[in-house]
């Protein structure tokens, strides 16, 4: 509830701007979707706004990279603590060797994987392979062993990593998508940030190996691993070559076609700064980048990935390096098939080994899960399961000795709210079109009751119920009551509310999205879409736009 003081009864009683008709829930939802679509298109359209050449890009690039890392929860980067890496087993296979490896990317955050090495001794380029969402009791790496085997047979050292969701020590990826963990937005936490950090630390480990050429490293992976390949190559310039498979998107298309509902939290970042994936690709330029996709992929359709390549043609052109960015697509669904392995592996082979030998699909290994399992027991200090609560440092309260000290901190917080939390607020307002109708239901025993609807921004109509005391006074205190989830299911306890505030003008508001025909899954994907646009749909009805994102931890105090 929010209390304010008003000098007139209420805008809904004044008889002004009442020309708008009411809308059905379905109509308001269609308008809401139109608003989201327009905002997504605007983000995608302005990615190079004000940047027309390499010099200007390189001037702005450091701050854009910092913003990108912040949105992953990686600004500043975590401390590079001891990896405590262990080889827990190993065996020779046909044309290569496998070692089972575990390391801690930070204390208690365990990463398991299989290291595939060429049979012959030597020094080789390194590949970090980031797996997708492929559940297996022994980790996702089991279902991606054919990738590691091919690389090792063709002159690479390949580290195939488990994800935190599908690893031997499991954590959570689908926190907002499935589990309503909306506190992740407040924390600034996204599982993509952990996956990027794990991949960076995997390269730290590879650089300790005598078999690895430290000047040559590439990253690839598919599905969720494709998205993480984008992010990691942008975050860590040690990766000279990248080949993301089935993980490319652009905001405009994914919002327009409601594709966000298909994807895990790890595919996107909480978009405080309203960046798009093409700008992440620009952070990779001019390093070689192959974008590999499927035309019948519902999670990453052509309308989403094709604009990324088109955008990057301009950026790579600034470096006279258009040959270093390429796009490949085939007419299949979201599948791990030879045609995609050929596209990615030939690219990596060309740029890391100067080898243009055509890819030939080889009989895949069928190594048992028992052989590839890394751990025999659960480490007692493992924090994978709760990493979403621990990865981002949280703000701690601190005392203020004087009013002046608090005043300075207050201004800092207000500035953060303006520039980050509510950064996505519209720059201008729309006419305050309203509609009201008397409601003579049972609540009329307490006050004059009205159903109201009004515009907060273009294509956004917010509804509520207005209660005005019958005491004849010209002004009243005002109370704004925001409906929460329980209120939507069970409705507001109007007897208690109106009895407690008999001399207030009371406005009970439905936040946008709560009076539309939505189920829990639809609500979750809509909130994820709002976060991708730079906002949080839970607070928009009061402020007039979708807005939100985290306030950074800063010095860890408040």
pLDDT at 39 over 70: yes
Question: Per the structure, how many domains does the chain have?
Answer: 2
CATH code of the domain in which 296 resides = 3.40.50.1820
Give yes or no: residues 385 and 477 share one domain: no
Q: What is the pLDDT of residues 499-556, one digit of tens each?
A: 999 999 999 998 876 666 677 788 888 889 999 999 743 333 333 322 223 323 333 3
Q: What is the pLDDT of residues 87-122, one digit of tens each?
A: 999 999 999 999 999 999 999 999 999 999 999 999
- The answer to whether position 556 is within a domain reads no
Look at residues 390, 415, 432 and tell me which one is the last residue of a structural domain. Answer: 390
- The answer to whether position 232 is within a domain reads yes
Query: What integer pLDDT is reported at residue 225 of this predicted model?
Result: 97
pLDDT at 280 over 50: yes
Give yes or no: residues 124 and 264 share one domain: yes
pLDDT at 230 over 50: yes
pLDDT at 11 over 60: no
- The answer to whether position 41 is within a domain reads yes
Q: What is the pLDDT of residues 418-429, one digit of tens each?
A: 888 888 888 888
Give yes or no: residues 174 and 259 share one domain: yes
Give yes or no: residues 41 and 79 share one domain: no
pTM attached to this predicted model: 0.91
Give yes or no: residues 88 and 19 share one domain: no
In terms of residue numbers, what domain contains 349? 74-390
Helices (H), 189-298: 191-206, 224-235, 251-256, 277-284
pLDDT at 338 over 90: yes
Give yes or no: residues 9 and 109 share one domain: no
Give yes or no: residues 29 and 104 share one domain: no
Q: How many angstroms separate the CA atoms of 216 and 202, rounded?
A: 14
pLDDT-derived band at 56 (thresholds 50, 70, 90) equals very high
Query: What integer pLDDT is reported at residue 489 of this predicted model?
Result: 58
Give yes or no: residues 37 and 151 share one domain: no
Look at residues 335, 367, 390 and tell me which one is the last residue of a structural domain. Answer: 390
| Chain center to CA of 297 | 20
Query: What integer pLDDT is reported at residue 485 of this predicted model?
Result: 66
Give yes or no: residues 350 and 440 share one domain: no
- The answer to whether position 354 is within a domain reads yes
Cβ(141)–Cβ(100) under 8 Å? no
Query: What integer pLDDT is reported at residue 487 of this predicted model?
Result: 60
- The answer to whether position 403 is within a domain reads no
Q: What is the pLDDT of residues 343-390, one digit of tens each?
A: 999 999 999 999 999 999 998 899 999 999 999 999 999 999 999 999
Residue 286: is the preceding peptide bond cis (ω within 30°)?
Answer: yes
pLDDT at 210 over 70: yes
- The answer to whether position 488 is within a domain reads yes
Give yes or no: residues 375 and 439 share one domain: no
Residues whose CB falls within 8 Å of the CB of residue 190, separated by 6 or more in sequence, listed in order: 71, 72, 73, 184, 265, 266, 268, 269, 270
- The answer to whether position 62 is within a domain reads no
- The answer to whether position 214 is within a domain reads yes
Say which range, 91-100, 332-341, 439-448, 487-496, has the weakest mean pLDDT.
Answer: 487-496
Give yes or no: residues 231 and 306 share one domain: yes
Return the closest-CA partner of residue 343 out of 292, 281, 308. Answer: 292
Give yes or no: residues 463 and 352 share one domain: no
């Amino acid at each position: 509830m929010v209390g304010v003081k008003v000098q007139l009864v209420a805008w809904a009683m004044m008889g002004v701007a009442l020309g708008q008709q009411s809308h059905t829930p379905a109509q308001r939802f269609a308008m809401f979707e139109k608003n989201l679509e327009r905002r997504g298109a605007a983000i995608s359209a302005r990615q190079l706004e004000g940047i027309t050449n390499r010099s200007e890009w390189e001037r702005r690039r450091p701050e854009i990279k910092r913003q990108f890392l912040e949105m992953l929860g990686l600004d500043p980067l975590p401390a590079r603590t001891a990896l405590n890496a262990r080889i827990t087993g190993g065996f020779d296979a046909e044309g290569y060797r496998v070692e089972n490896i575990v390391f801690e990317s930070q204390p208690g955050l365990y990463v398991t994987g299989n290291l595939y090495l060429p049979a012959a001794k030597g020094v080789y380029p390194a590949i970090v392979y980031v797996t997708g969402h492929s559940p297996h009791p022994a980790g996702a790496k089991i279902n991606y062993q054919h990738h590691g085997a091919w690389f090792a047979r063709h002159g690479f050292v390949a580290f195939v990593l488990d994800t935190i969701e599908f690893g031997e020590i499991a954590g959570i990826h689908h926190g907002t998508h499935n589990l309503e963990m909306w506190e992740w937005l407040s924390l600034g936490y996204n599982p993509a940030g952990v996956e990027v950090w794990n991949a960076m630390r995997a390269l730290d480990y590879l650089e300790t190996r005598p078999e690895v050429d430290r000047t040559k490293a590439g990253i690839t992976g598919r599905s969720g691993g494709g998205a993480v390949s984008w992010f990691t190559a942008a975050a860590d310039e040690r990766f000279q070559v990248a080949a993301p498979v089935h993980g490319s998107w652009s905001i405009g298309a994914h919002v327009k076609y409601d594709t966000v509902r298909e994807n895990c939290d790890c595919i996107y970042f909480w978009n405080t700064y309203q960046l798009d994936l093409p700008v992440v690709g620009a952070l990779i330029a001019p390093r070689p980048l192959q974008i590999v996709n499927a035309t019948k992929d519902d999670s990453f359709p052509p309308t989403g990935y094709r604009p990324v390549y088109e955008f990057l043609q301009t950026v790579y052109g600034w470096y006279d390096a258009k040959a270093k960015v390429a796009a490949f697509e085939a007419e299949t669904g979201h599948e791990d098939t030879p045609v995609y392995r050929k596209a990615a592996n030939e690219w990596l082979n060309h740029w890391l080994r100067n080898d243009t030998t055509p890819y030939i699909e080889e009989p895949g290994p069928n190594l048992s899960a028992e052989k590839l399992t890394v751990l025999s027991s659960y480490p007692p200090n493992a924090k994978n399961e709760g990493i979403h609560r621990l990865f981002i440092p949280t703000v701690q309260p601190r005392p203020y000795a004087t009013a002046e000290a608090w005043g300075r901190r207050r201004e800092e917080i207000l500035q953060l709210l303006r520039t980050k939390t509510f950064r996505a607020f519209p720059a201008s307002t729309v006419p305050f079109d309203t509609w009201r109708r008397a409601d003579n239901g049972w609540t009329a025993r307490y006050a004059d009751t009205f159903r109201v609807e009004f515009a907060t921004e273009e294509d956004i109509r917010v509804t509520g119920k207005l209660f005005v005391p019958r005491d004849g006074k010209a002004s009243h205190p005002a109370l704004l009551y925001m409906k929460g989830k329980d209120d939507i299911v069970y409705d507001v306890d109007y007897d208690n509310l109106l009895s407690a505030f008999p001399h207030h003008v009371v406005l009970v508001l439905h936040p946008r999205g709560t009076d539309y025909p939505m189920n829990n899954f639809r609500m979750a994907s809509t909130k994820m879409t709002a976060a991708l646009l730079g906002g949080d749909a839970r607070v928009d009805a009061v402020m007039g736009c979708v807005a939100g994102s985290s306030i950074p931890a800063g010095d860890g105090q408040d």
